Structure 1
């Protein structure tokens, strides 16, 4: 059966969003890869389905381009939040995910804030294969002069490791990213962030996403970078994150919850074959 979809993006991090509230949608890993393929398919970083649930506006599932289902996607949640608010006519939408309940609110014209919940900081919650201080890991993950400062680890419903680098332009993002992603310390693999502190309230960030590679933006990666930086005293508890695709504003509130604010855009509509 053919099924309509929307192609959306958050700062260039792009998604194929499928409506699955009227009919079930259960793609195989092979089908996800075919949809995400930029040569023969539609092309996207993540596939998203919007499903029914009695306790929220929708239950949302995410798959990376490699076919693996994941628990969280910040930019994708923001895009879905915008769609749900357009549908329900309200300025708020409750979204259930495998990572927990998230709430999106309208923050301006095509701007959406998402309460991403509290970060998980214990090594068992990332998860790591062995006990580590997640504020500053005690193992070398990749041999390179710019990556010698111990990275930090944060889970935002999905695992992140964040390297603090002196010059983002010289950081070996494409070289180190795929190797660190599959390092033995990370049993579920890991998203790899490379962050340059520009000011106490500004961070330049690039992210190698597990299962997707280098993307123009990563919402949970931006949240993780701010939390990791604030834990080390490198920034305050709020900052603008400069990503390849644009800017996100991240705040780690005093109540422990992380707020992410940024744009959502619709690129085009189509029908899955």
Structure 2
């Protein structure tokens, strides 16, 4: 039998699959089929998820493991900040280590166990890198712009400014007085369908500045749609916030980023050039359920005999969320 873990970071929901425990790893085609079926709220289990996190042996000798991110639609992302925290917890417990590196498609990233956010709410800090503002890195095309930093793009939304950054997932960020979900959803859908601006799609985030080092961020995620939280989105938004709004940024303190699923903290070390800045994302790594399934059925994406058992951790996380002030 195989055990999968249902997990979340700020209610960004995932299934974790440790392929090193399998007799035969799944092929790329099998992983895509499994992610699409498992993550669907209709065909999946436990109300589906935003993605499937695949844990493999690392190819980099200085890493404890490798993480692949298969989105709910079957596409693959370079990185996932919320997901990396849950994978980090899994590897930490598996190998009894608290500080190590995890290999992702884009880079080997430093992670470490952080103090619990609350009783029974374990937390991890993960590095977010590499960073780029170059049009070719996202990629984006808009007239002759080589970077898009706090720019008015009337073709997107009139009277709103936008910044594009890859961390390494591509993000389009706009700071607003009040987030209009319908407006965010329309722009997210448009820029993730065939469009002349972002040929590979883009994660779109709107952010409200609530106070010094306090943000609220909502993200329309490429390959998923609206999510409760997007780790790389909150990280990218924090970096842009620190650069554009120094009046509200205290470099000596973490930034608290609220989201529909709770909150995270980011630590931003600004540098010149800006791409040399350091971002660390700190937040929960909650395991809500363990799912057992026959390995043959896993290869066939046959979930009919899957059995799940709650860990009881979600109630502790919800108590923590209820205790914080947005």
TM-score by length of 2: 0.77
How many pairs were matched up?
A: 269
Out of 191, 196, 201, the residue aligned to residue 203 of structure 2 is 191
Q: How does 1:1-273 map to 2 (within 5 A)?
A: 3-23=2-22, 24-28=25-29, 29-42=32-45, 43-54=48-59, 55=61, 56-109=63-116, 110-130=122-142, 131-132=144-145, 133-143=147-157, 148-169=159-180, 172-182=183-193, 183-233=195-245, 235-236=248-249, 237=251, 238-254=254-270, 256-270=277-291, 271=293, 272=298, 273=302
Contact 2:192 2:201 in 1 (8 A): yes
Contact 2:107 2:130 in 1 (8 A): no
In structure 2, distance between residues paired with 1:151 and 1:60: 30
Moved more, 166-175 or 194-203: 166-175
In structure 2, distance between residues paired with 1:93 and 1:141: 44
State the 1:141 CA deviation: 4.1
In structure 2, distance between residues paired with 1:127 and 1:92: 33
Contact 1:193 1:207 in 2 (8 A): yes
In structure 2, distance between residues paired with 1:226 and 1:200: 12
Q: Over the residues paired in the alignment, what is the CA RMSD in angstroms? A: 1.9
Contact 1:135 1:231 in 2 (8 A): no
**Which structure has the larger Rg?**
2
Contact 1:201 1:240 in 2 (8 A): yes
Secondary structure of 2:20 counterpart = coil
TM-score by length of 1: 0.91
Q: Which runs of 5+ in 1 are unaligned?
A: none
Moved more, 133-142 or 76-85: 133-142
Q: Which runs of 5+ in 2 are unaligned?
A: 117-121, 272-276, 303-326
In structure 2, distance between residues paired with 1:60 and 1:160: 20
Contact 2:141 2:197 in 1 (8 A): yes
State the 1:154 CA deviation: 1.2
Contact 1:71 1:157 in 2 (8 A): yes
